[in-house]
Chain A
Amino acid sequence: AQSVAQPEDQVNVAEGNPLTVKCTYSVSGNPYLFWYVQYPNRGLQFLLKYITGDNLVKGSYGFEAEFNKSQTSFHLKKPSALVSDSALYFCAVKNNQGGKLIFGQGTELSVKP
């Protein structure tokens, strides 16, 4: 069965510092991995995805994620955090047979000035 784990309920970062939001996954076959962000009272907004190719994926708003097959991880990163990055972040996975998208429980990112 497919699953996603986001081990941190909350991540606190000072503005200007690098940020990492962790995600590990379990899937049969090759994984397709996604990061979404959710602002208060808004729907989920697509940030980036890994399908195949380079392990480092670049996405919207300066975010990037690194796919690590041996560690089954897909951590979200940003070199310099902004206060406006404060939101709820979801990692999601599906297998390459087109199975349903499975979401993690979310990580609340708080960036303080």
Chain B
Amino acid sequence: EAGVAQSPRYKIIEKRQSVAFWCNPISGHATLYWYQQILGQGPKLLIQFQNNGVVDDSQLPKDRFSAERLKGVDSTLKIQPAKLEDSAVYLCASSLGTGAHNEQFFGPGTRLTVL
């Protein structure tokens, strides 16, 4: 079974530039998550999708971050414009459903450096 795919793996940009990350979840997983992991911290949920609908985006900085999952499969996360404090690893995860017992499966992440 293929895992969660993410691209690119690394990205370096200047502040105020834009960047986009892509995620392809495990086949059949209805729930998709984007996390931000700052160095030395645990992952923090940015947004959760159930199929193509948003379940929770309470911690997404909506003035600069946006995410979509138009066909209920792949997802993109965009930052525009980027700030220095956005430097982090962005992790995508998926699970079969939103049930509390469902474990999440994580992709390898995209390491973003904002200069």
Please state if B91 and A98 are interface contacts (CB–CB under 8 Å): no
Interface size for B (C-beta < 8 A) is 24
Chain A positions within 8 Å of B91 at CB level? 43-44
Q: Given the known inter-chain contacts A103-B44, A104-B42, A105-B42, please indicate yes or no for A46 contacting B100, CB distance below 8 A.
A: no
Chain A positions within 8 Å of B44 at CB level? 103
Partner of A45, one of B48, B98, B106: B106
Least CB distance from B102 to A in Å reads: 9
Chain A positions within 8 Å of B48 at CB level? 100
Please state if B108 and A42 are interface contacts (CB–CB under 8 Å): yes
Please state if B107 and A100 are interface contacts (CB–CB under 8 Å): no
Please state if A100 and B56 are interface contacts (CB–CB under 8 Å): yes
Please state if B101 and A51 are interface contacts (CB–CB under 8 Å): yes
Partner of B101, one of A32, A36, A46, A99: A32
Q: Given the known inter-chain contacts A49-B101, A95-B100, A96-B100, please indicate yes or no for A101 contacting B106, CB distance below 8 A.
A: no
Closest to A92 in B: B42
Closest to B9 in A: A41
* B40 located at the interface, meaning its Cβ lies under 8 Å from any Cβ of chain A in the complex: yes
* B25 located at the interface, meaning its Cβ lies under 8 Å from any Cβ of chain A in the complex: no
**Contact residues of A between 1 and 60, Cβ < 8 Å to B:** 4, 32, 34, 36, 41-46, 49, 51
Please state if B108 and A43 are interface contacts (CB–CB under 8 Å): yes
Write 12 A-B pairs (CB below 8 A) sorted by A numbering: A32-B100, A41-B111, A43-B91, A43-B107, A44-B106, A49-B101, A90-B43, A97-B100, A98-B100, A103-B44, A106-B40, A106-B41
Binding site for B on A (CB under 8 A): 4, 32, 34, 36, 41-46, 49, 51, 90, 92, 94-101, 103-106
Further pairs besides A100-B48, A106-B40: 13, Cβ < 8 Å: A32-B100, A32-B101, A41-B111, A42-B108, A43-B106, A46-B104, A49-B103, A94-B100, A95-B100, A101-B104, A103-B42, A105-B42, A106-B42
